[in-house]
Amino acid sequence: MPIERKVIDIEKIEEQRAICAQIFERVTADGQRPLAMVDTYGCQQNEADSEKIRGYLAEMGYGLDVIVVNTCAVREHAEMRVLGNVGALNHSKKARPGQIIAVCGCMVQQKHMAEKIKMSYPVVDLVFGPHELWRFPELLNQVMEKHKRVFAIDKAESVAEGIPLRRDGKVKAWLSIMYGCNNFCTYCIVPYVRGRERSRRPEDVLAEARQLVAEGYKDITLLGQNVNSYGKDLDCGVDFADLIRQINDIPGDFLIRFMTSHPRDATEKLFKTMAECEKCAHHIHLPVQSGSDRILKRMNRHYDRAKYLDEIATARRYMPDLVITTDIIVGFPDETEEDFADTLSLCEEVRYDAMFTFIYSKRVGTPAATMPDPYTRADKQVHFDQLMELSNRISGEKHKEYEGKTVRVLVDGETGKEEYNLSSRTNGGRLVHLHGDKSLIGQFIDVKITASNTWALYGSLEF
Ligand code: 5AD
Ligand code: SF4
C-alpha cells in the first residue's frame, strides 16, 4: 500500500529561504564573512543532502561560524569517527565561542544516538534528522536567536522541492530521484532512519536534469537506495526505465549513471533501455551482498544466487561491455565457511570490475542484531582479507585487458600530482589517470590505455 506522501509546499521552502535572507542581513552587517563548513560521512545520498545544506548556507551569506556534520549510520565505524570528531570540536568552540555546531543525518535519526549527543556532547547546538533538512534555516535561526540547543528528530517522511543547492564541481552531478527504502534487509538501518520509499515526480526530476545539462554538467548520477522501484509509490505510469529514456531524450552530450539497483527488481526492460539509450553509461552497481542462498534468505534479500546470476547473464547479453560492480558483506551472523565459499565462487563467476566489501556491523534495532553469531571478529577478518585479495586480483586482470585499447573518457578533475595531473572516467566508470592541459576538464576525449593496476588505468593522449 502506498504510504501517505508528505510533500513540503514550495511556499514552505520559500519561507525557509526568507529566513536565509534574514540571517544574511544579520551576519553580514559588520562586513565579516568567515566560512561555514559541512563535513559529510557516508553515501552519495548524504553528499547530495550536504549540497542542499551548503545551498542554504550560501543564501545565508556564509557569514556564519557554523560547522555542520552530516552523519552516516550504516556501519559502527562511521559513527565512531563522527563521535570522535565532534568531541574534538570542543577546542574549536573554545577558541571561537560564537561558533554553532550542528550534527545531522542518519546517525542522529536513531533515538539512542540523539540522546547520547544531548547528554554527552554539550558542544553540539543543533541536531536534526534527514526528514528535517528542509527547515534547516529555521532551526539554525532558533539556535541563533534563542541561544539554546535545538533537537529536531521528526519522523514525518517528506519530499521537498526547491531547496537551493550548492554542488561540488562543474562536471559531475548527483540527482536524487527518490528517498528512503522499503526493503528492510535484516542487517540494514537505512529504512529506519531514511523512511519508506518516496519518489520525486518525473517532471521535477526532468526539470532538474534539463537544468544540469544547460549548466554544462556532463555526468549525471540518478540517486536512490533502490532506483529500480522508482515511481511505484506515485502511480504516474513512469517506471525507472521510462525515466532513463526521458532523460536520454534531453538534447546534449552527457552521461546518465545511476545507483543503487536492488537485484530483486532489476528488470530486463531496464537492461534493454540501458542498451538502447546512447547516453546511459554501461555500468551497473548491483549489490549481491552474499553468494550463499542460506545467507541471502536470512538477509531478506528476496533473490537467490541463480536469479542473480541469471540477471547478470541477461544484462551482459544486452551490453557485452557492461561494467559490473557490487557490495558484499562478510561475516553476517552465523556465516559459515561453506557460505563464504559460495560468495567466493560467485565472485569468480561474475568477475566484478570492482567490489565494495564490508565486515558485518551490528545495527541496533535491526533483525540481524539479535541473530546468534558464534564467529569472532578475527574469523571475519580472515574471510574479509581473502575476499579483498580475490577482488584485487580480478580488478587487476580486468584492468590489464584495457591496455593498448583506445577508450572514450570524460575528464573530470585534477589530481594534484605532476605526472598524471588529470583524472577521468570511462563510460563504465573506470578511473583513468592522464597527463594533459586542465582545459580538458569537462570534455569527452579518446585516450590510449598504456598501463594499469588494481585500482586504476593510465592513459595517453598521444597516439
Ligand atoms: N554492516 C556491514 N555492511 C552494511 N551495509 C549495509 N548495512 C551494513 C551493515 N550493518 C553495506 C551493504 C550496502 C552498503 C551500502 O553498505 O553492502 O550495500
Ligand atoms: Fe539497506 Fe537493503 Fe534498503 Fe539497501 S535495499 S538501503 S541494503 S535495506
Q: What is the DSSP string of 167-196?
A: -S-SSEEEEE-EE------TT--HHHHH-S
| C-alpha cell of residue 150 | 535545538
Pocket test of ligand 2: the residue of 75, 187, 190, 264 to mutate, having most ligand atoms within 8 Å of its CB, is 190
Instruction: Tell me which of 23-27, 150-154, 160-164, 250-254 is least confident.
Output: 23-27
What is the structure's pLDDT at 169? 86
Judge whether 247 lies within some domain.
yes
Q: How high is the pLDDT of residue 30? A: 75
Ligand nearest to the CA of 287: 1
Domain count, the chain: 4
Give the pLDDT confidence score for residue 1 in this predicted structure: 45
Q: Domain containing 415 — which CATH number?
A: 2.40.50.140
Domain boundary among 281, 304, 327: 281
361 lines ligand 1 (CB under 6 A): yes
pTM of the model as a whole: 0.92
Q: Say if strands 158-160 and 172-176 run parallel, antiparallel, or are unpaired.
A: unpaired
Please check whether residues 117 and 12 belong to one and the same domain: yes
Let me know whether 143 and 53 are in one domain: yes
Whether the CB of 183 sits within 6 Å of ligand 1? no
pLDDT value of position 235: 83
Q: Please report the pLDDT score of residue 3 as a whole number.
A: 55
Q: Is there a single domain that holds both residue 126 and residue 177? A: no
**Same structural domain, 110 and 17:** yes
CATH of the domain at 40: 3.40.50.12160
Ligand 2 atom closest to Cα of residue 182: 3
Instruction: Kindly identify the ligand whose nearest atom is closest to the C-alpha of 185.
Output: 2
Distance 19 CA to ligand 2 centre (A): 35
CA nearest ligand 1 atom 2, residue? 360
Question: Looking at the structure, do residues 273 and 361 belong to the same domain, yes or no?
Answer: no
Which ligand has the shortest distance to the CA of 73?
Answer: 1
Partners of residue 329 on adjacent β-strands? 358
In a domain, 350, yes or no: yes
Q: Kindly give the residue spans of alpha helices, DSSP state H, lying in 182-261.
A: 190-194, 202-214, 240-248
Q: Would you say the CB of residue 289 lies under 6 angstroms from ligand 1?
A: yes
Q: Is position 62 within any domain?
A: yes
- Both 303 and 175 in one domain: the answer is no
Assigned domain for 1 exists: no
pLDDT at 154: 82
CB contact at 8 A, 436 and 418:
no
Atom of ligand 1 nearest to the CA of 187: 10
pLDDT over threshold 80, residue 463: no
Q: Please state, in angstroms and rounded to a whole number, the distance separating the CA atoms of residues 423 and 455.
A: 13
Q: Report how far ligand 2's centroid is from the alpha carbon of 225 (Å).
A: 6
Is residue 74 domain-resident?
yes
271 with 358, same domain?
no
Instruction: Report d(CA 255, CA 221) in Å as an integer.
Output: 8
Lowest mean pLDDT among 164-173, 326-335, 358-367: 164-173
Q: For residues 297 and 440, state if they share a domain.
A: no
Per-residue pLDDT of 86-118, as tens digits, reads 999 998 888 888 889 999 999 999 999 999 999
Determine the pLDDT at residue 50: 92
Question: Which triple of cell numbers denotes residue 294?
Answer: 542460506
- The verdict on 274 and 341 lying in the same domain is no
Buried b or exposed e, range 204-221, using 16+ CB within 10 angstroms: ebbebbeebbeeebbbbb
Out of 134, 159, 184, a domain closes at 159
Asked which of 351, 371, 401 is the last residue of a domain, the reply is 401
Closest atom, ligand 1, to C-alpha of 260: 18
Residues in contact with ligand 2 by the CB-under-6-Å rule are 181, 183-185, 188, 190-191, 225-226, 262
- Cβ–ligand 1 contact at 358 (below 6 Å): yes
* Domain match, 178 and 259 both: yes
For 204-240, how does the pLDDT look when each residue is reduced to its tens digit (9 = 90+)? 999 999 999 999 999 999 999 999 999 999 988 999 9
What residue numbers bound the domain in which 442 lies?
406-462
| Nearest alpha carbon, ligand 2 atom 4 | 225
Find the 284 Cα to ligand 1 centroid distance in Å.
Answer: 18
Phi first, then psi, for residue 35 (nearest 5°) are -80, 145
Query: Which ligand places an atom closest to the C-alpha of 262?
Result: 2
pLDDT tens profile 118-135:
999 999 999 999 999 999
Whether 425 shows a pLDDT value over 80: the answer reads: yes
Spell out the alpha helix ranges (H) of 195-322. 202-214, 240-248, 268-276, 293-298, 305-318
Using one digit for the tens of pLDDT, what is the confidence trace for 153-192?
888 788 899 999 989 889 999 999 999 999 999 999 999 9
Q: How confident is the model at residue 63 (pLDDT cuts 50, 70, 90)?
A: low
pLDDT at position 9 is 86
Pocket test for ligand 2, best of 46, 178, 181 (most atoms within 8 A of CB): 181
Question: Which residue's alpha carbon is at the smallest distance from atom 5 of ligand 2?
Answer: 183
Identify whether the C-beta of residue 219 lies closer than 8 Å to the C-beta of residue 400.
no
